[in-house]
Amino acid sequence: MSNRTFTMIKPDATGKGYTGAILDQIIKAGFTVKAMKWVRLTEEQAGLFYDIHRARPFFQELVDFMISGPIVAAILEKDNAVADFRELIGATNPANAADGTIRKLYAANIGENAVHGSDSDENAIIEGDFFFSKLERF
Ligand code: GDP
C-alpha cells in the first residue's frame, strides 16, 4: 500500500477557475499536500511526461492540450494514496465517471479531463521526481 501519489490540475480546469474547488475536494478527502507548484509545461516536457502514450493517435492532441495553459502539479500523501486518488478523480472519460468525482464535476471530455492521477506507486515516484527536487517536497 502506497502513501504518496502525484497529481496535476490540467489546463482546462486551471483556465476555468476550478483550481481552488478541486484542491478543496482533494484536501477534504484526506490528502495532505507534500509538494506543489504552478507551472506551464513546454512541448518537450509535456511529451516526456506522457512518453508512454507517444504511439497513441491522441498523443499530439494531448501534448497541445497540456501546454495550452498553466497546470498545478502536486505530491499528495494519504494511506493507500494511488488507489484512493484514482477513485476520487473518477474514470478517464468523465461520461463514465461516478457522481461526485472530480472528473464528473469538472471535466469536459476524455481529453480535457481536469486532473491527472498516478496509476501505480512506481509511476507516482517517477512523476513526482519529474516535477520536484528534494528541496521542494516535505
Ligand atoms: P488516465 O490515467 O485516467 O489519465 O488515462 P490514460 O493514462 O489512459 O491517458 C492519459 C491522458 O491522455 C488522459 O487523462 C487524457 O487527458 C488523455 N487521453 C486519453 N485518451 C484520450 C483520447 O482518446 N483522446 C484525447 N484527446 N486524449 C486522451
Question: Annotated catalytic, 116?
Answer: yes
The reply to whether ligand 1 has any atom less than 6 angstroms from the CB of 110 is yes
pLDDT of residue 49: 98
The Å distance, Cα 135 to ligand 1 centre, comes to 31
- CATH number at 130 reads 3.30.70.141
Contacts of range 62-67, beta carbons closer than 8 Å, 24 or more positions apart:
62/111, 65/10, 65/11, 65/12, 65/111, 65/112, 66/10, 66/11, 66/41, 67/11, 67/40, 67/41, 67/42, 67/43
Residue nearest to atom 3 of ligand 1 (CA): 92
The reply to whether ligand 1 has any atom less than 6 angstroms from the CB of 120 is no
Place of cell 478527502: 29
Residue nearest to atom 16 of ligand 1 (CA): 111
Residue 76 is part of which domain span? 4-136
Note down pLDDT in tens along the chain; length 138 residues. 579 999 999 999 999 999 999 999 999 999 999 999 999 999 999 999 999 999 999 999 999 999 999 999 999 999 999 999 999 999 999 999 999 999 999 999 999 999 999 999 999 999 999 999 999 999
Contact 72, 40 (CB under 8 A): no
Alpha helices in the chain (DSSP H): 11-15, 19-28, 43-49, 59-66, 81-89, 102-106, 121-131
The catalytic residue among 88, 116, 124, 128 is 116
- Asked whether the CA dihedral 62, 99, 123, 21 is positive or negative, the reply is positive
pLDDT of residue 42: 98
The Å distance, Cα 92 to ligand 1 centre, comes to 6
pTM: 0.97
Contact 40, 136 (CB under 8 A): no
Domains: count for the chain: 1
The Å distance, Cα 96 to ligand 1 centre, comes to 13
| Grid cell of 83 as nine digits | 488507489
